[in-house]
Structure 1
Amino acid sequence: MTTAVRTTEARVRRAELAAFLRSRRERITPEQVGLERGRRRRTPGLRREEVAQLSAVGVTWYTWLEQARDIQVSPQVLDAIARALLLDRSERAHLFALGGATDPAPNSECTGVTPSLRMMLRQLDPFPACLQNSRFDILAYNTAYGRLLCDLDALPPEDRNCLWLAFTNEQWRDSLVDLDETLRAMAAKFRASMAGHLAEPPWKALLDRLLAASAEFREIWERHEVLRPGDRTKLFRQSRVGLLRLDHTGLWTGPTPGPRLLTYTPVDEESRRRLEELARL
């Protein structure tokens, strides 16, 4: 391969990388990564300086990346950018291919929701089901789950997090029969999961938000309890149909500890009847 050909290929790759970074940056809302939107925001999605801040890289350096400048990109920096932009596994692999680097963590959590997973969620109605990551973000859900504890459709996307709702949303809290036990267990699972993500901005942003909003969370967090995810029967006090006894099952959709498909199936006929009634309302 001649030098001219290699130079042309490198230039094309840099242009593709720049366009890809811009497209991923523009699709993410500030709220998704723990930033305030502000009143004067005109840029769709995140600003360049915000991505640089979240990735812990220089603003000028990141700007050069989006301008397709001829600069060297380390795997560690690409990893930080991939995490800041919430890339799924396919997008992450594409980023490293364009950057000409080897991914140091190829099994990083996938945040994407495929059409087949969305179809599975719909098919499970009237049984509640959702797709949730290890940070308790609700990535997708069916109609039954959207009505189970509160009206999820009425909430902004940045509030669709089970841990946040359990400590701050009164309707969600009223629906949990074993509230105290559930709160302790969720905080303990969050601490166990966060051990592998301590330096990642979305995790730190959620923790800071919870600590600022809930004295109850602050007290539980100070206990330093840890717990791994598990399946068990859960009781819900649904505001329109009454008590529901549901078996909770989590199915991994990718490498552990990636997103899980959570399903809630009725333990008895009364709970099944009430779920069907909820679907008709």
Structure 2
Amino acid sequence: MTVLRRDELAGFLRTRRARLRPAEVGLPEGVRRRTPGLRRQEVAQLAGMSIDYYIRLEQGRGPHPSRQVLAALARALLLGRDERAYLFRIAGASPPEPIGPSREVPPGLRHLLDAMTETPAYLVDAAYEVLAWNRLATWFVGELSAVPAEERNMIRAMFGRAVPESHWNDPEALRFARTAVADLRAAYGRYPADPAIAGLVTELLGVSPRFAALWAEHEVGERRPTVKRVPHPELGPLEFECRVLHVPETDQRLIVYVPAPGSPTAAAFRRAGERVRVGPDAES
């Protein structure tokens, strides 16, 4: 346990309270608000504590707040993941372990996907469940809107029974799979209480000897870019870099297929984008 930093805690609570509007937490705006943000009694009400206790926290006084009190304050003040961890640390407590990976798609990422009209891209969580995608990505991952959400897992598809053995003759395909398994093991360590990740690992260990062999190597690490060569049935032979961009605030990955500028693959993506541009945007 770290040391309680009362002044830092008091200042942090005051600034987080001041940034919130009543409507954001389900309270009426009212009138006669002389200062921006919530009132102290409103935060105390939302957190389920006495106004006197909360005032003492903002004044750098009072007892050492319990983990339950800190969790209630984090909910009341709508703290993000980093802010929540910071609150616990300055209050002299270790941050709570995350229960599972975030599966909520931030609006900004959804807008970014929609704006990428000539680049296939999709968003996955730490367990590689596909959360959102753009229209061009459907040329590679299929029309996922017709697939139940619990079946949209890229690693399950990668090691599924339908994958031919010849697929693994490609060194880049094998490297892609190896880094994906290493990334999944890292998530397995970060979210030990998540049943979805544990269930996926157990399932694949039972049905895929290749997954079991890679899992047994105990490699841990985030994904690295790889070059993919795909003989697409409609677009022809394609070559592009598969970029995996980590989204820190949600622990998600934005997977983007990036062709070399001016390449035949870039031209093929452009033509495909023109064909789907008139269709509706895909989303989870």
What's the TM-score once normalised by structure 1's chain length? 0.57
Shift, 1:175, TM fit:
8.3
Gaps of 5+ in 2: 1-42, 49-65, 277-284
Shift, 1:128, TM fit:
0.7
**Percent of aligned pairs sharing the same letter:** 22
- CA distance in 2: counterparts of 1:107 and 1:277, whole angstroms: 46
Match for residue 95 of structure 2? 105
Report Cα offsets for 1:204-244 as digits up to 9, x if no partner: 12212222332332233223233432223322332321222
- CA distance in 1: counterparts of 2:176 and 2:266, whole angstroms: 23
Quick one: which of 161, 166, 170 aligns to 2:158?
A: 166
Trace 1:234-249 onto structure 2 (pairs within 5 A). 234-249=228-243
- CA distance in 1: counterparts of 2:239 and 2:125, whole angstroms: 24
Report Cα offsets for 1:106-130 as digits up to 9, x if no partner: 7955432122211110110221112
Q: How many residues align?
A: 208
Trace 1:124-273 onto structure 2 (pairs within 5 A). 124-168=116-160, 170=162, 178-255=172-249, 258-267=251-260, 268-273=262-267
Give the 3-state SS of the residue equivalent to 2:210 in structure 1.
helix
1:125 counterpart letter in structure 2 = T
CA contact (8 A) 1:130 1:141 kept: yes
Tell me: higher relative CO, structure 1 or 2? Use CA pairs within 8 A at least 6 residues apart. 2
Structure label with greater radius of gyration:
2
Gaps of 5+ in 1: 1-8, 15-72, 83-87
Report Cα offsets for 1:2-59 as digits up to 9, x if no partner: xxxxxxx989767xxxxxxxxxxxxxxxxxxxxxxxxxxxxxxxxxxxxxxxxxxxxx
Q: How much is the aligned-residue C-alpha RMSD, in angstroms?
A: 4.4
- CA distance in 2: counterparts of 1:233 and 1:221, whole angstroms: 22
Label 1:222 to 1:115 Cα distance change in 2 as closer, same or farther (>3 A). Answer: same
Match for residue 268 of structure 2? 274
Match for residue 116 of structure 1? 108
Shift, 1:142, TM fit:
0.6
- CA distance in 2: counterparts of 1:218 and 1:123, whole angstroms: 38
Give the 3-state SS of the residue equivalent to 1:263 in structure 2.
strand
CA contact (8 A) 2:123 2:253 kept: yes
Label 1:116 to 1:11 Cα distance change in 2 as closer, same or farther (>3 A). Answer: closer
Give the 3-state SS of the residue equivalent to 1:247 in structure 2.
strand
Match for residue 53 of structure 1? none
